[in-house]
Amino acid sequence: MPLVTDDTGTQGKGGLQVELGMERQRANADAEGVATKTTAWAPATTLTYGLADKIDLVAGMPYTWRKVEAGGTSTTGDGIGDLSLQLKWRFLELQEGKLNLALKPGITLPTGKDGNGFGTGRRSGGMLLAATHKGALGAVHVNLGYTRNEYRLEADRIASKNDIWHASIAGELNMATELRAVADIGVDTNKDKDNDINPAYLLGGIIYSPSGCIDLDFGVKGGLNAAQPATSLLAGVTMHF
C-alpha cells in the first residue's frame, strides 16, 4: 500500500504480513438531468503468510460503506465484499536478484451480498503476472492481470462483462532510509457492457517506515477519465512479523 500495482516480494517461509487500509472515494455524475453524488469508504484487511521462501498465501476481505445522493434524497448501504484467496510465486530471479518475476493466481469466494452490489454471487478467478526491478534509487513494478467474473443474478449477467483485464506500472523513489515516494498508473476493462471507456487512474503517495516491521502509507488517486472516480484518498498500515 498505497500502490495498486503489486510487487514480486514474498515474506519468506513462516513470515506474516498484515495490511490494514482505508480508501475514500467521491464521484459525481449527471444522468438524465439528475445530479448524483456518491461517497464510499472502503476499509480492507489483507493477510499474507509465507508458505515457502518464494511462495505466499494471500487472503483479503474488503468492506464498503456507500452513500448516494440524487434528486434531493440519499440512500446508504454497507457490507463485506467477496473474500479473495491468492498464491504469489516468485518463479524467476535475474541480475543477481534485481529483476524478479512472479505469478499470482487467485479466486474470489461469494461472501458479499451481490444483490446490494457488494459481490458477484459466484466464485470467480484470475491470474496476475508481476515484474519488479530494483536499483539504488528505488524500484519499478509492472503488472498484467486477467479476471474471469461469474455472476449469480441475471441482471448482472446481462449488464456486466465477464472478462476483465488490468495493466499498470508503478515506481518507488528512495527519499531517505525511512521514506519512499511512490507513483502508480493503470487501466482496467470497464465492467459495464454499455460503457467502452476503460477506467484509468493516476496515484501518488508516500511510505514511511519508522522500523523494519511497520510501514505507514498515504496516497491520493485521481481518475484519468469519466469511468474512474474523480478522487480517492488512501491510508494504511502494514505490519511484518
Q: Is residue 91 part of a domain?
A: yes
pLDDT at 16 (0 to 100): 97
- The residues that bridge with 2 in the sheet, in sequence order, are none
> What is the model's pTM?
0.90
SS3 assignment, position 14: coil
Q: Is residue 194 part of a domain?
A: yes
Q: Is residue 9 part of a domain?
A: no
pLDDT single digits (tens) 188-214: 999 999 999 999 999 999 999 998 899
Full residue range of the structural domain in which residue 22 is found: 16-240
pLDDT single digits (tens) 134-161: 999 999 999 999 999 999 999 999 999 9
pLDDT at 115 (0 to 100): 85
Cell matching residue 86: 491468492
Rg over CA atoms, the chain? 18
Q: Is residue 10 part of a domain?
A: no
**In contact, 168 and 143? CB cutoff 8 Å:** yes
Q: How many distinct structural domains can be found in the chain? A: 1
Cell matching residue 71: 434528486
pLDDT at 47 (0 to 100): 97
Ranges under pLDDT 50 in the chain: none
Q: Is residue 34 part of a domain?
A: yes
**In contact, 98 and 92? CB cutoff 8 Å:** no
Q: Is residue 23 part of a domain?
A: yes
The CATH number of residue 130's host domain is 2.40.128.130
Q: Is residue 42 part of a domain?
A: yes
pLDDT at 15 (0 to 100): 96
Query: Largest alpha-carbon pair distance within the chain?
Result: 61
Q: Is residue 11 part of a domain?
A: no
Tell me if the bond preceding 2 is cis, omega within 30° of 0. Answer: yes
